[in-house]
Amino acid sequence: MLLAIEDLHTYYGTSHVLQGISLTVDRGEIVALLGRNGMGKSTTLKSTMGLVKPKRGSVVLNGRDITGVPPYKAARAGIGYVPEDRRIFPELSVLDNLSLGVKGGKTTSTKQKWTVDQIFHYFPKLKERTGSKGKFLSGGEQQMLTIGRSLMGNPELLLVDEPTEGLAPLMVKEVRDMLEEIQKAGVAILLVEHNIKVALSLADRVYLMGKAHVGFSGSVEELKANPQAREKYLEV
């Protein structure tokens, strides 16, 4: 087991946003966390990364309790985070943005080492834009850059929040295929994605969130065979 989240409770002020979330991610698999807007999916990723500190419950990575640690410690432990708003540095070049993803200090991961050359292999469009400032990239190119920057930290687990949001259909396919290649390279992914078709084409397992809780968990095949769960947690 790579990641184990158990009975996680997170608040924003007095608002009880996560109410006992539990989920797991095995090594090298893609797990999709799906549901309607406002259910707490992004907060689950932020609580895992330490961007929001849970009030109760545990986040365990590689057998190590990292509940509520600062994000830089979660990164050093082996987690990469791809935020919904991308957060690239608009005045820095593609190469400089990638370089900022390299973690300092001692890390626990000794597996796949990601280099700029490897990133350019998986993201050839970024190679073409090496010297371009982030603000001049298209939305799809910025998404590639955000994922590439996260990979430069050599994660074992990538938390990916809405990677295809706002992208043209052709770019959606490119981002989807890139995530599949990243999984093949040995990186596990916990994916929040509004495009259900994309998510189910990638995922090994699925969790569906209702308001602040997990309402369904199972394989993609089990979800497809459960129209009640799809209607309750996915359909508008």
Place of tokens 């985070």: 81
What is residue 85's predicted lDDT score, i.e. its pLDDT?
Answer: 86
Please give the pLDDT value at position 24. 98
Q: Which domains does the chain carry?
A: 3-233 (3.40.50.300)
Write down the pTM of the prediction: 0.93
* Band (235; pLDDT cuts 50, 70, 90): confident
At 198, list the tokens. 């994309």
Q: Output the pLDDT for position 70.
A: 96
CA distances from 144 to 94, 129, 151, 222 (A): 10, 11, 11, 31
- Residue 101, pLDDT score: 86
Q: What is the mean pLDDT of residues 35-63?
A: 96
pLDDT, averaged across the chain: 92
Residue 149 has pLDDT above 90, yes or no: yes
Q: What is the pLDDT of residue 107?
A: 46
CB 144 within 8 A of CB 176: no
Express each pLDDT in 5-37 by its tens digit.
Answer: 999 999 999 999 999 999 999 999 999 999 999
Report, as an integer, the average pLDDT of 190-218. 96
pLDDT score recorded for residue 86: 86
The pair of three-digit structure tokens given for residue 215, joined into one six-digit string: 């309402």
Q: What is the mean pLDDT of residues 118-143?
A: 92
Q: pLDDT per residue over 75-118, tens digit each?
A: 999 999 999 988 899 999 999 999 988 865 444 444 547 899 99
